[in-house]
Structure 1
Amino acid sequence: MKLKENINPLLLQVLHSLIWIYSMVTFIPWYLVSGVSQTLSIAKRVKARTVNSNPGCPYRSVNSMHCLASVLYPGCDTLDKVFEYAKTKFGKDDCLGTRELISEEDELQPNGKVFKKVILGRYNWMSYEQVYVAASQFGSGLAALGQRQKANIAIFCETRAEWIIAAQACFMYNFSLVTLYSTLGGPAIAHGLNETEVTHIITSRDLLQSRLKAILLQVPRLQHIIIVDEKPMSWTDYPKGIMIHSMTSVQTLGSKPENISKPRMQPIPSDIAVIMYTSGSTGIPKGVMISHSNLIAGLTGMAERIPDLGEKDTYIGYLPLAHVLELSAEMVCLVHGCRVGYSSPQTLADQSTKIKKGSKGDASVLKPTLMAAVPEIMDRIYKNVMTKVEEMNRVQRTLFVLAYNYKMEQISKGYSTPLCDSFVFRKVRSLLGGKTRILLSGGAPLSAATQRFMNICFCCPVGQGYGLTETCGAATISDMWDYSTGRVGAPLVCCEIKLKNWEEGGYYCMDKPNPRGEILIGGPNVTMGYYKNNDKKDDFFVDENGQRWFCTGDIGEFHPDGCLKIIDRKKDLVKLQAGEYVSLGKVEAVLKNCALIDNICAYANSDQSYVIGFVVPNQKHLMALAEQKKIKGTWEEICNNSEMEKEVLRIVAEAAITAKLEKFEIPMKIRLCCEPWTPETGLVTDAFKLKRKELKTYYKDDIERMYGGK
């Protein structure tokens, strides 16, 4: 996507001439020194092939054609051994970092709301050896509190260093760790705790008081609650029979000679390491059983795709650790000696909602080299930066647009642009600390426009990954030298992928020019199935060679170089009254690029002839549009204004036509939603995936109105 130029033609010609002269003068010496020819050959090489010539046969990475990889280090076949290896190799190096809280205050906003603002100091670090000792003592303390080996223990906590310490303790002592999203509602939390029959839970003070306390009477087996916070508090009005401990007191108990000296039964590769509850985007969360060998295989595949991963890297952790993307990313870093510094979406950048104006966000202080993000966060960064570009004066905007389009042309050829990076994009890059060398996107498809923008403005490759909880988050990651967009890369060395015909959607593995079909993932990273849930057992199967496979429900196509592109999803496909198939995910992905839209949910009933949509508008753009149309009122009044609805629908339709959507795919009616969709509202998951069932229920009256029922 080229940025449009709106400047004096003579000035434009002069600038283009200067750029041309600069390119000609610097090209030959740069080409000889940079090794770009080698980079280009790497980018264009075939990355995966079919294992044989039969239709529908699996694709494998060219680096694992003879055998799928399953072990990171020789002899380290369980997670406790993997971390012990890391402790031995990187013992004194920084491991986990937490930023100190200097002050906290309430700040009154112009609309009357009160926001909590913080000033944070430096990062305090624990070494690999210190983390290992803390985990060992905590595991010993849990055992002293009656936690049995191979029994389930829950963690319901925000992303922080204590989460990983608790997880490592469970891996060491062979406790099966049950993970629950911190944004789940009460019924979903109670369901997970009761289904897994936990007697011990690890949580934070805030989550205990805000979410857990209300459902304790619904969890009769619960006996011990361990709070990770250091600050002591008085605990009153809690059910009898439940004991509340601090993490420090449990570690102290575990460090006593009579407890630390007790022999522990080490896990074996097939033991359950994690029961990870999904975000519940399609109903009640399911617990995915992940063995030690599953997770190690997934980590092995991911590590092979990240170049030069090692002690010089710093990773910033802020996504939910209960999500397989964040857990896998952090564990890959930890087993390679990286530092992991913790953050949150509210404190990530200088402009984040909890950071007091004038003070530094976490990325500015930590300066990470590695970062994972979900597309929703990248889309926000993209729109915020482009809004600032629109506010620049003409000269600044001209320079930015020229540099953007010039760099886009150069990186498409495999060339770098050091001057543009230093003088034009340095300020944008500093939003994430200025040293990021790899950004990894996962959790949902990333739009081509956002991916290209992040490549250009943050001066680093943006790798798209594809995987599911059921495959340990591992299936593909795009090559760091591949600057194409919209693709998720070739299969990782730990798995193979094949396509299955889906006749209803019209996708076949014999399609030309690219084979298409439902994505099936096979390999040692495919998990053991769902905990106490046989309803979905058909999603998994074992082939004649004894290999496990998972049927994803996603539709993909393979390109000639062995890279996969996600093109549809079974559950997102709706057949309209006249027989046309509409991919709701495709409609949403296209329209989210519109500056006026912060989020969108497309919806269609199979007994209706058209698509409708729910739009969370960008407040700044919508208010500007309202002023232009001379429509006044509060934010809610403007969102509920029928004239504004029509105007936004017109803009949405124009964007859809420009993006070449079919006429039947374009929403015919929309609802402007004044409240943003966050995990706290229950309308999106922690990875910001739409919860279609909850959205349908929440907007039931609007659906009836737009379809003529009311």
Structure 2
Amino acid sequence: MAAPPSMVTLPQFTVPAPGAVKKDGETVPRRHFKFADRLLDHPDNVTTMWDVFLHGNKISGDNDFLGVRRMENGEPKEYIWESSNSVRRRVENYAKGLSKLGLGRQEALGVYGVNRPEWTMTEQACYRQAFIIVALYDTLGEEAIEYIVNQTEMKYIVATADKVKHLINLKSILPSISHIIVMDETYDKTLDAAASEVGVAIQTFKDVEKLGEDVTEETELPKPEDIATICYTSGTTGAPKGAVLTQAQSVAVIYSIVAVGSADTFAKVDHTDCYVSYLPLAHVFERAAQGLFVYNGASIGYYQGNTATLLDDIIELKPTVFCSVPRLFNRIYDKVLSGVKAKGGIAATLFFTAFNSKKANLKTTTKHWLWDRLVFGQIRQRLGGRIRFILSGSAPVSPDVIDFMRICFSADVYEGYGQTENFCGSCLTVSKDNTTGVVGIPFPCSEIKLVDVPDMEYTSNDQPFPRGEICIRGNSVMREYYKNPEKTAETLDEDGWLHTGDIGLFDECGRLSIIDRLKNIFKLSQGEYIAPEKIEGVYQKHELVAQAFVYGDSLQSSLVGIIHPDKDELTKWAQSKPEFADKSFEDLCADAEVNKQLLSALTAYGKSNDLKGFEQVKKIFVTPEEFTVENDLLTPTFKLKREIAKKKFAKEIDAMYAGRTFN
């Protein structure tokens, strides 16, 4: 006889920290259920990020390590590879060359460019010589670059050839810069004279390697307490803050990912794995991911530098692991489903039969012997056909999309949660637990508690689950914000807890869910609290919508929205309607009747996805302009910059609230 529901013992994935006592206004700190006795720090004999590299080099040796696509007459061909041993020789020479140029221990070295082998080799050289690597995002504006370079008193920048002229032109506001090292073998040599005039020397990456070839003197090895990186938050408002992360703090995260793999609560990675690097190395998600593959001696293939050709790179590379962000997963979701609907008939019936069959068994498996071959094989090929597991990070991903990825790619899909301030080392979901809507359990290097937020009515005594601000403490939490004691004190309390600004709850199994954000919430005039990201997440699942920005004025009783449609889907939709069939994408976006019909579709869709009446936008402005990093509407990790979006669309927002039309 089955036990009644009330008597069923549910698994507990987190446990109270040993000896911890619950304090008023907060939960007891919780830890990973398999690593409760202590917070992990480092493996034996691996205490720095340079040790991480050496560990992988010992495994990989002459095997493929870093790969890029060969170009022929401007066309990308196969991947060509460099072995781990070859890369190690180059890194050591390059590191010595940088020292010979005058870069000193614990001085800042800037990196300015998209992911490529030279980026990774620069990172490893910094770890070897105890330089401080400071990334300048490829799409940063002048103001932020000026702020970061001047705050760190940066003298040396490693950059791609296309950035050299820009840096020289900025020299008047970047007085400390004395050397630019160009990643490319060739660059515009006419820039040498201009650089010399403003007191900047230019060398190529290989020039610096050669400079170090004849250096026989060994320099001091890095120490665990040395600063590994100052990673500046991309932030949606204000000046960027530089999170100071030591070698030891970075190692703790890599070790934790390895440990949960060995404990069978996360995927195992080994030297046979292949990873595609495209998420910005300027951010900790990609740095932590690469660290895992470096440690295990796996191979890393780089995209061409253009996200528009990413899927082509993936098909050629055939990676076994794919790390990405919800924005890309949402696009894949939309494209596959719209393609299925367009086919219709037997093909659509077969797809949804297979889909629903697999979904019914998701709690136990992501695979099906028949459907994976008959229905999902072609979809799986979109990511190369060899994917073992997928990891989503940077922002919560919709449960529908998570389930879709598990079903269609026949792979384990994990969700991670972390911040710049702890090298991404917060939470990971658990192997074989396909529960959606959770971000998992703490990294073994971290413990987590929830602290009451009375103003938002979140408390540790809430029923059925405790709720509050997520606070993290452990071996990966940053030392401080660089030269910013005021912001440091706001974020790190006297007991070492990192206050994340995210609102979470611990569920019945001790898993963490993110349910809100301290700052990303506002109140409408009638007193209703609004979480815009939740609403945007619903609308962006509609096939006609690529991006959405939901806004509510506290003096108004309703929400308005800025919608960027999916160009292919909107065009296809218009062609089925005679009155719109001959209009361009831009004309469709400006058409009042299109606006009306799209709003009607979104309202119905929102209702079917359980949006309350006050959560629905009452008016929309349809823009043909995509929200991108380049136009400053997205952070480099693809989060919406709300304040920037509010300013950019101020006229349209005012018009919607005033009841005016746009044509």
The bucket for the TM-score relative to the shorter chain is over 0.9
Match of 2:60 among 75, 83, 90: 90
Equivalent in the alignment of 1:80: 50
Give the fraction of aligned pairs with identical amino acids, expressed as a percent: 33
Q: Secondary structure at the match of 1:479?
A: coil
Equivalent in the alignment of 1:28: none
Match of 1:168 among 121, 124, 136: 124
Q: Secondary structure at the match of 1:46?
A: coil
Equivalent in the alignment of 1:292: 247
1:53: Cα distance to partner?
Answer: 6.7
CA RMSD across the alignment: 1.9
Do structure 1's residue 526 and structure 2's residue 492 form an aligned pair?
no
Do structure 1's residue 131 and structure 2's residue 87 form an aligned pair?
yes
Equivalent in the alignment of 2:579: 630
Which runs of structure 2 are paired with 1:404-419 in the superposition (5 Å)?
404-414=355-365, 416-419=367-370
Equivalent in the alignment of 1:670: 620
Letter of the structure 2 residue corresponding to residue 81 of structure 1: D
1:292: Cα distance to partner?
Answer: 0.6
Any conservation in 2 of the 1:319–1:345 contact (CA below 8 Å)?
no
Alpha-carbon distance between aligned partners in 1 of 2:465 and 2:161, rounded to the nearest angstrom: 53
Alpha-carbon distance between aligned partners in 2 of 1:286 and 1:497, rounded to the nearest angstrom: 23
Do structure 1's residue 692 and structure 2's residue 642 form an aligned pair?
yes
CA 327–58 in structure 1, closer or farther in 2 if over 3 Å, else same: same
CA 424–285 in structure 1, closer or farther in 2 if over 3 Å, else same: same
Q: Secondary structure at the match of 2:250?
A: helix
Any conservation in 2 of the 1:410–1:417 contact (CA below 8 Å)?
no
Structure 1 ranges of 4+ moved more than 6 A: none
Unaligned runs of 5+ in 2: 1-8, 261-265
Equivalent in the alignment of 2:598: 648
TM-score (norm 1): 0.87
Which runs of structure 2 are paired with 1:527-676 in the superposition (5 Å)?
527-542=478-493, 544=495, 548-627=496-575, 628=577, 630-631=579-580, 633-676=583-626
1:503: Cα distance to partner?
Answer: 1.0
Match of 1:157 among 105, 113, 123: 113
Equivalent in the alignment of 1:252: 210
Alpha-carbon distance between aligned partners in 1 of 2:366 and 2:315, rounded to the nearest angstrom: 28
Any conservation in 2 of the 1:669–1:706 contact (CA below 8 Å)?
yes
Match of 1:188 among 102, 119, 144: 144
1:86: Cα distance to partner?
Answer: 2.3
Match of 2:183 among 216, 228, 251: 228
Any conservation in 2 of the 1:378–1:450 contact (CA below 8 Å)?
yes
1:235: Cα distance to partner?
Answer: 3.2
Which runs of structure 2 are paired with 1:436-585 in the superposition (5 Å)?
436-542=387-493, 544=495, 548-585=496-533
Letter of the structure 2 residue corresponding to residue 291 of structure 1: T
Equivalent in the alignment of 2:5: none
Which runs of structure 2 are paired with 1:198-209 in the superposition (5 Å)?
198-209=154-165
Alpha-carbon distance between aligned partners in 2 of 1:221 and 1:709, rounded to the nearest angstrom: 52
1:393: Cα distance to partner?
Answer: 4.6
Q: Which moved more, 1:215-224 or 1:84-93?
A: 84-93
1:263: Cα distance to partner?
Answer: 3.3
CA 80–313 in structure 1, closer or farther in 2 if over 3 Å, else same: same
Q: Which moved more, 1:78-87 or 1:327-336?
A: 78-87
Q: Deviations over 1:612-654 (max 9, x none)?
A: 1111111233234444271353322221222222221111111
Alpha-carbon distance between aligned partners in 2 of 1:447 and 1:345, rounded to the nearest angstrom: 27
Do structure 1's residue 56 and structure 2's residue 56 form an aligned pair?
no
Alpha-carbon distance between aligned partners in 2 of 1:364 and 1:166, rounded to the nearest angstrom: 28
Alpha-carbon distance between aligned partners in 1 of 2:380 and 2:523, rounded to the nearest angstrom: 44
Any conservation in 2 of the 1:495–1:524 contact (CA below 8 Å)?
yes
Q: Which moved more, 1:55-64 or 1:414-423?
A: 414-423
CA 535–674 in structure 1, closer or farther in 2 if over 3 Å, else same: farther
Alpha-carbon distance between aligned partners in 2 of 1:127 and 1:624, rounded to the nearest angstrom: 47
Equivalent in the alignment of 1:322: 282
Any conservation in 2 of the 1:677–1:684 contact (CA below 8 Å)?
yes
1:416: Cα distance to partner?
Answer: 3.4
Any conservation in 1 of the 2:161–2:187 contact (CA below 8 Å)?
no
CA 177–396 in structure 1, closer or farther in 2 if over 3 Å, else same: same
Any conservation in 1 of the 2:246–2:478 contact (CA below 8 Å)?
yes
Alpha-carbon distance between aligned partners in 1 of 2:64 and 2:586, rounded to the nearest angstrom: 49
Alpha-carbon distance between aligned partners in 2 of 1:620 and 1:225, rounded to the nearest angstrom: 42
Any conservation in 2 of the 1:539–1:550 contact (CA below 8 Å)?
no
Alpha-carbon distance between aligned partners in 2 of 1:208 and 1:676, rounded to the nearest angstrom: 28
Any conservation in 2 of the 1:382–1:453 contact (CA below 8 Å)?
yes
Equivalent in the alignment of 2:271: 311
Q: Secondary structure at the match of 2:461?
A: coil
Q: Secondary structure at the match of 1:67?
A: coil
Any conservation in 2 of the 1:317–1:344 contact (CA below 8 Å)?
no
Any conservation in 2 of the 1:186–1:212 contact (CA below 8 Å)?
no
Q: Secondary structure at the match of 2:519?
A: helix
Q: Which moved more, 1:227-236 or 1:49-58?
A: 49-58
Equivalent in the alignment of 1:374: 325
Alpha-carbon distance between aligned partners in 2 of 1:297 and 1:492, rounded to the nearest angstrom: 9
Alpha-carbon distance between aligned partners in 1 of 2:356 and 2:301, rounded to the nearest angstrom: 34
Unaligned runs of 5+ in 1: 1-42, 105-118, 348-352
Alpha-carbon distance between aligned partners in 1 of 2:129 and 2:98, rounded to the nearest angstrom: 9
Any conservation in 1 of the 2:627–2:633 contact (CA below 8 Å)?
yes
1:542: Cα distance to partner?
Answer: 4.9
Letter of the structure 2 residue corresponding to residue 661 of structure 1: L
Any conservation in 2 of the 1:171–1:273 contact (CA below 8 Å)?
yes
Equivalent in the alignment of 1:103: 73
Alpha-carbon distance between aligned partners in 2 of 1:53 and 1:537, rounded to the nearest angstrom: 26
Do structure 1's residue 420 and structure 2's residue 371 form an aligned pair?
yes
1:196: Cα distance to partner?
Answer: 0.9
CA 634–310 in structure 1, closer or farther in 2 if over 3 Å, else same: same
Any conservation in 2 of the 1:283–1:693 contact (CA below 8 Å)?
no
Any conservation in 1 of the 2:139–2:629 contact (CA below 8 Å)?
yes
Q: Secondary structure at the match of 2:497?
A: strand
1:345: Cα distance to partner?
Answer: 6.5
Equivalent in the alignment of 1:66: 37
Alpha-carbon distance between aligned partners in 2 of 1:208 and 1:283, rounded to the nearest angstrom: 27
Alpha-carbon distance between aligned partners in 2 of 1:318 and 1:625, rounded to the nearest angstrom: 32
Alpha-carbon distance between aligned partners in 2 of 1:445 and 1:645, rounded to the nearest angstrom: 29
Q: Secondary structure at the match of 1:536?
A: helix
Equivalent in the alignment of 1:702: 652
Q: Secondary structure at the match of 2:617?
A: coil
Match of 1:390 among 335, 338, 341: 341
Equivalent in the alignment of 2:257: 302
Equivalent in the alignment of 1:212: 167
1:701: Cα distance to partner?
Answer: 0.8
CA 323–541 in structure 1, closer or farther in 2 if over 3 Å, else same: closer
Any conservation in 2 of the 1:379–1:450 contact (CA below 8 Å)?
yes
Alpha-carbon distance between aligned partners in 1 of 2:324 and 2:247, rounded to the nearest angstrom: 25
1:527: Cα distance to partner?
Answer: 0.5
Q: Deviations over 1:73-132 (max 9, x none)?
A: 21221111221232233322221111111122xxxxxxxxxxxxxx22222222222111
Any conservation in 2 of the 1:495–1:523 contact (CA below 8 Å)?
yes
Any conservation in 1 of the 2:367–2:407 contact (CA below 8 Å)?
no
Alpha-carbon distance between aligned partners in 2 of 1:345 and 1:403, rounded to the nearest angstrom: 36
Alpha-carbon distance between aligned partners in 2 of 1:44 and 1:333, rounded to the nearest angstrom: 34
Letter of the structure 1 residue corresponding to residue 36 of structure 2: M
1:213: Cα distance to partner?
Answer: 4.0
Equivalent in the alignment of 1:45: 11
Equivalent in the alignment of 2:101: 145
Q: Deviations over 1:1-31 (max 9, x none)?
A: xxxxxxxxxxxxxxxxxxxxxxxxxxxxxxx
Any conservation in 1 of the 2:69–2:79 contact (CA below 8 Å)?
yes
Match of 1:242 among 200, 207, 210: 200
